[in-house]
Amino acid sequence: MRRIALRAGELLAVLFVVSFGVFAMVTLMPGDPAVAILGEGHPKQDYVDLRQELGLDDPLLTRYWHWLSSAVTGDLGRSLVPPQGDVTDRILGALPVSFQLATMGLLIALVLAVPLAMWSAAHAGGLVDRIISASMFAILSIPSFLAGLLLIMVFANGLGWFPRAQWVRISEDLPANLHHALLPALVIAMMELALFTRILRNDLIVTLNEDYILAARAKGMPPWRIMVTDALRPSSFSLVTLMGISLGRLIGSTVIVEYLFALPGMGSMIVTAANQGDFPLVQGAVLIIALVYVVVNASIDVSYGYLDPRTRRVHA
Partner 1 sequence: MRSDKSRARAENRTRTLLVGAALLVAGGAVAGFGWTTPTLVLAGKAVLVLAGLGLIFHGIARLVVGFRGKPVDLLFVLAVVWLIGICVAAVLAPLLPLGEHNDVAKTLVEPTNMAPSLLTDHPLGTNNQGLDLLSRSLHGARTSLAISLLAVTIGTVVGGAIGVMAGYFRKGVDSVVGIFTNALLAVPPLILLITLSTFLDPSLRNMALALSLLTIPSMVRLARANTIAFAQREFVMAARLMGATRFRVMTRELVPNVLLPVCSMAVVMISALIVAEASLSFLGLGIQQPDPTWGNMIAEGEGGAMEDYPHIVLVPGAFLFLTVFSFNLLGEKAQKRWDTRSAKL
Partner 2 sequence: MNDTNELVLEVADLHTVFTTPRGVMRAVDGVSMSLRAGETLGIVGESGSGKSVLGRTVMGLIADNATTAVSGSVRIGGHDVHAMKPKDRRKLWGPEVAMVFQDPMTSLNPVKRVGAHITEALRLHLGLNRKDAHERAIDLLRQVFIPEPARRMKQYPHELSGGMRQRVVIAMALACDPKLLIADEPTTALDVTVQKQILDLLASLASQRNMATILISHDLGAVEGRTDRVAVMYGGRTVETSLTSRVFARPAHPYAEALLASIPRIADAPHTVLRAIEGAPPNMLAPPGGCSFAPRCRLAQDRCREEQPQLREMSDGVRGLHAEASHLGACHFPLTEVTERQEVG
Residues at the contact surface with partner 1, assessed by CB under 8 A = 10, 13-15, 17-18, 21-22, 25-26, 28-30, 137-138, 140-146, 149-150, 152-154, 157-158, 199, 202, 238, 241-242, 245, 247-249, 251-252, 255-256, 259-260, 270-271, 273-275, 277, 279, 282, 286, 289-290, 293-294
Q: What is the DSSP letter of 188?
A: H
Nearer to partner 1, 114 or 260 (CB): 260
Using CB under 8 A, which of 221, 240, 294, 300 touches partner 2? 221
Residues 6+ apart with CB under 8 A from 135: none
Distances (CA, A) of 114 to 198, 228, 280: 10, 10, 41
Q: Report if residue 218 touches partner 2, rule: CB under 8 A.
A: yes
Q: Give the binding-site size for partner 2 (rule: CB under 8 A).
A: 20
86 to 115, contacts with partner 2 by CB under 8 A? none
Distance from chain centroid for Cα 10: 21
With beta carbons less than 8 A apart as the criterion, state whether 281 and 269 touch: yes
Angle at 190 between CA 189 and CA 195, to 5 degrees: 95
Nearer to partner 1, 132 or 199 (CB): 199
Q: What is the DSSP string of 78-121?
A: B-SSTT--BHHHHHHHHHHHHHHHHHHHHHHHHHHHHHHHHHHH
For 14, the enclosing helix (H) or strand (E) is: helix 2-27
Residue 30: which of partner 1, partner 2, none does it interact with, CB under 5 to 8 A by kind?
A: partner 1
| Binding piece for partner 2, criterion CB under 8 A, among 2-10, 149-157, 263-271, 306-314 | 306-314
Please, how many CA atoms are within 13 Å of residue 33, restricted to the half-sphere of its CB? 25
Q: Report if residue 124 touches partner 2, rule: CB under 8 A.
A: no
Output the smallest distance, CB 224 to partner 1, in A.
Answer: 26
Using CB under 8 A, which of 6, 215, 262, 302 touches partner 2? 215
Q: Report if residue 302 touches partner 2, rule: CB under 8 A.
A: no
Output the smallest distance, CB 195 to partner 1, in A.
Answer: 9
